[in-house]
Amino acid sequence: TIGGKGGRIYVVTDSSDDDPANPKPGTLRHAVIQDEPLWITFQHDMVITLKQQLVMNSYKTIDGRGASVHITGAGCITIHYVNNIIIHGIHIHDCKPIGNAMIRDSPNHVRLWETSDGDGITIRGSKHIWVDHCSLANCYDGLIDVTLASTSITISNNYMTHHNKVMLLGHSDAYIQDKDMQVTVAFNHFGEGLVQRMPRCRHGYFHVVNNDYTHWEMYAVGGSAAPTIYCEGNRFLASNDPNNKEVTKREEAPESEW
């Protein structure tokens, strides 16, 4: 994953998101839709409250180092059939679903985007994506959902809290195109207030390594549709609730088989 390597530095100076169909220069939305590789940084601390999902173009690095940058609001980050994106050092939280809207996804293209589920980060049909050193919390659907034959995805060094369905890897049991999905989930802290899907895997190949699990209310790691999950070097600290002791959960099987 090279992100915006080799591209110019784009400094975000404006935290507004007034018009998703015609974003202003200096805003994050204007930066992420450009056709060229960009390394995107931030002039100062800012809270970016999105009016619609933030649709990204390929070859971008969003680098929050040196500033405290929060992304919240409607839809949050959408990575849709693109490649080579790095998201580093951003706080993503309180993302809400939003209805259909006209959104610009490149300098020369605006189209109608369908309803967003309110994920923190949605990755669909995309390759070579790296989400690193971000914090994610309290979104409507998933914190990070990876679907529709996305592959070469790394989710590392993130801090996740206060959420139900944390991380979905695989669209559905019937969507067999996800059999080629490869995702690494490494060095993350799954913290307080989490319930399930850390991650929940389907069909593909998943390396879940060296993560710290300090809370879950249903299960930590789960899967269906014959995924290959290589789970190693993780620390699991179960709660004192006897119903939440199991690291994994097997559906439609007696507890003795878990």
Closest listed residue to residue 133, CA positions, set 99, 86, 196: 86
Please give the C-alpha separations between residue 155 and each of 7, 13, 183, in angstroms, as whole numbers: 23, 27, 8
From 164, 227, 175, select the one nearest 197 (Cα to Cα): 164
Catalytic positions are 197
Contacts of 25 (CB under 8 A, 6+ apart): none
Please tell me whether the peptide bond between 97 and the residue prior to it is cis, using omega within 30 degrees of 0. no
Alpha-carbon distance of 235 to 61, in angstroms, equals 30
